[in-house]
Structure 1
Amino acid sequence: MKKGSVLLFFFLGLFVHAQEKPMFDQQEVVRIETELASDKMEGRAIFTAGIDSASVFIEREFKNIGLTYFKDLKTYRQEFVAKGKNANNVIGIVPGKSKPNEYVIFSAHYDHLGLAESGTDKIYNGANDDASGTTAVIALAKYFKELNQNERTLIFVAFTGEEVGGFGASYFSKNIDAKTVVAMFNIEMIGTESKWGKNSAYITGFEKSDFGTILQKNLANSNFSFNADPYPQEQLFYRSDNARLAALGVPAHTISTSKMDVEPNYHKLSDAVSTLDLANMTEIIEAIAISSQSIVNGKDTPSRVK
């Protein structure tokens, strides 16, 4: 090959590389995370003005993305009553092309602990728990809506009441036919590095279906790894919003990075955005998107949880 041709291909290669965009914009991740964990949300406790502000924000994001309403709902709010008080999940969907009646769920809980009774800093911002997961759900909704290649219908849901008994997930599970749900990607606390370091996370209940094996297969050509839950003594599979649908047989698992044995800010006032690794968190969201592709596209169907 002539020298001139080599130089031409070299510069064309640089041009093409420069035109490539990352799958997820880190600044968007930062924007969403920072808003959800801001002081004005007042800790996002269920039944408070703070969580209503969070709901309005998520609804606005879903509207801007262009998500469709869930089932017969007229808004993104799935409203219900718990403990005699009004509450709501926030749900949007991207209809499937060839398999619209088969559902893949991406979920997180957007509630947290609210306000402390005393002290200078009274706000439980819940940046990692679980503004990080909710941020991921919003980012994934935008990605899949723009990609527009999903054969199965995608449901993006932000649950309320996880911290006080899983009210939102319980209500949701009673209002969907579990047999139609192919898989559930529940995302909980992904803002810190896992015990294996960057570019890694774990899946709760890994042994209960082949969900995790499928995700690992789809990540074979990446530098990211999903692992089995290293904290079995914590019973994490039963402690998040995946548990309600898993009890009905759905391969519903939680993806997390939280070091549950030594996580310094878990359920503390110090769980703030400044403690998160937002670059790594963006990579985790991208890994979830890549790992879910064969399920989203209808090529893989995880085995049911028994």
Structure 2
Amino acid sequence: MYKIFIVVLIMCSACLYAETENSLVMVRCDNGSEDGFLPSPQDMELSTLKANLNPNVDTVVLVHGFNTSYSSAKSSYTTACSALVSELGNRNYVGFYWPSNTWLSFGTAVKHANAAGKYLIYMLSEISKICRTTRVHIICHSLGGRVLLSTLQQNEARYVRWGKNCLLAAAVHNNIFFTSFANTNLVSQYNYVYFSKNDGVLKYLYSLYYWLFDRKNQKLPGAEKFLRLSTTEQLRYMDALDNGKFTARSEFDRELLRQIRIAEKDAMGLVGAFRGNSNELRKVENIEVSNIVDGHSYWGNSTVIRMAAKKIAR
């Protein structure tokens, strides 16, 4: 009886340890109001993370995109981790939350994504102090791609033992490795850019927020009607215009259609990373997933997440 008890105790302990090994640890850099940051990276709560880190395995960090609450990010990460664990097994899984919630304009969210880099690099540096011989891999979605690029651009990035990065539907220009974040592609072991031509949300929001709303465009004839629409109605309007359900009726419509065409060519999440005239963009591989991704949602797509996991495992 005593031997049976010991065996059961060992089995339970093993199960508990396995759960701790592969459980998701959340780290947030927002101040709780969903619209601002903690005063400094040092104010982030990292004690739980440090206590759960296994220094003998790699770390996988997940980074969300625009219009995401903390609870939504945690839920998405938990779903993704199910697929990751099935492929990667025992790793340190970390969910990073930065302020990008609903009421923020996309322009403000872009600024927040840039600012989040110094928080993420601080967290990664702290991980590296414990996990000295293993690597850290980043899987980011949408505007989270900008968070990653901002992180790679920080001076402290040179001290992180980087692995491989997977950019899902990145909401950045496709030539960004040559422009505002030049050479950040060289910091990590490798970068995998997943894109889908079916990503209508990215196409329309990208054109809507990145180019369209210059003050001069807001004054074009026909703009006043469009600006009164809700975001959902604006997206439907753009979809109808893009797919020829009605012809451009005003100067504003014609400009709107032009911006959509620009997005179709320039958004990384729609066309992949621009490789330059020399076709020598090192450490970057474009992976089209149009056949398995119908829109902008990636975290719940186990096929894509497993694909990313297999790249990390190589």
Same fold (TM over 0.5): no
TM-score by length of 1: 0.36
Bigger Rg, structure 1 or 2: 2
Q: TM-score, normalised by structure 2?
A: 0.36
More strand by share: 1
RCO higher in 1 or 2 (8 Å CA, sep ≥ 6)? 1
